[in-house]
Amino acid sequence: MNARLPDHTVIQAIRPKVLFKAIENRFPGQNVGFTVNIPSPDIGGMTLLESSVLVSLAKLTGASSLFEFGTFMGATTLLLAQNTPVDAQVVTIDLPPDEVSSTHTGDVLKDGDANDDYLRSAFADQGARCLARADAAVHSKVQQILQDSTTLDVREQGFEHQFDFIFIDGGHHFDIVKKDTENAYRMARKNAVVLWHDYASNIHSDVTEFLNGHAQGRRIYHVEHTMIAFELLGDFSTLLSGS
């Protein structure tokens, strides 16, 4: 369920069909499909609509170098690896499971801190189980980093200006989203798409608060009926024109 957004937000809401129309415009005369697994019923997964939005943006931009903040069960990592070119590379980062507490308290459906604790606990217990079950073709495209994303040294890793698709879905506290976003722009190529999950979430309000402030002077879109917001950088900013 999406939270009620403040009237003053500068983030532009668009219908999913705007993206789908852009796909039709880019691939005229083609039936553009995608591979998706049955969504996990667990907390923290994405809906089928959100999955189609992510894949649509990957295909619209022709993404070949992708970075994901927040591996969790590996479902989104798998989705991106399955729906990008065979030579694409997906880098994903999450906390080392052995450094995460496997306990949690509170109402995980109403309290953001409790929800994050639950997600970390599930990751500590099970790891990226969707990714672990994937075939060799997927594993050959994926590089998994086990590290606190806020300690990521972009320059040391050789990640500066290396990615054309960056998905931010790690920790949901304001300072973590801010740090991951700052790193995302350092890692982005001139033409890239940066995406955030949990915008307009009833639980993780820090993501919405951060993005509403961050969006000042930028063209950031929120896809209605999802918790996905995104920004198209460089020449990609024209991809929705005429859709």
pTM comes to 0.93
> Does residue 149 lie in a domain region?
yes
Inter-residue contact 172 to 112 (CB < 8 Å): yes
Q: Let me know if residue 2 belongs to a domain.
A: no
Burial of 175 (0-12, 13-18, 19+ CB in 10 A): exposed
* 243 part of a folded domain: no
Read off the pLDDT of residues 48-78 as tens digits, 9 standing for 90 and up.
Answer: 999 999 999 999 999 999 999 999 999 999 9
- Count the neighbouring beta carbons within 10 Å of the beta carbon of residue 136: 7
pLDDT surpassing 90 at residue 94: yes
Residue 158 has pLDDT above 60, yes or no: yes
- Tokens 């969790």 locate to 72
Q: What is the pLDDT of residue 206?
A: 95
pLDDT (mean) for 207-217 = 96
Q: Domain of residue 18: give its range.
A: 12-238
3-class SS of residue 236: helix
Contact, 170 vs 180, CB < 8 A? yes
* Residue 147 in domain: yes
* Cβ contact 73:124 at 8 Å: no
CA-CA distance, 178 to 38, in Å (whole number)? 31
- Does 91 map to a domain? yes
Domain of residue 188, CATH code: 3.40.50.150
Q: What is the pLDDT of residue 91?
A: 98
In total, the chain counts a number of residues equal to: 243
Is residue 118 pLDDT above 90, yes or no? no
Number of domains in the chain: 1
- 7-34 per-position pLDDT tens digit: 668 999 999 999 999 999 999 999 999 9
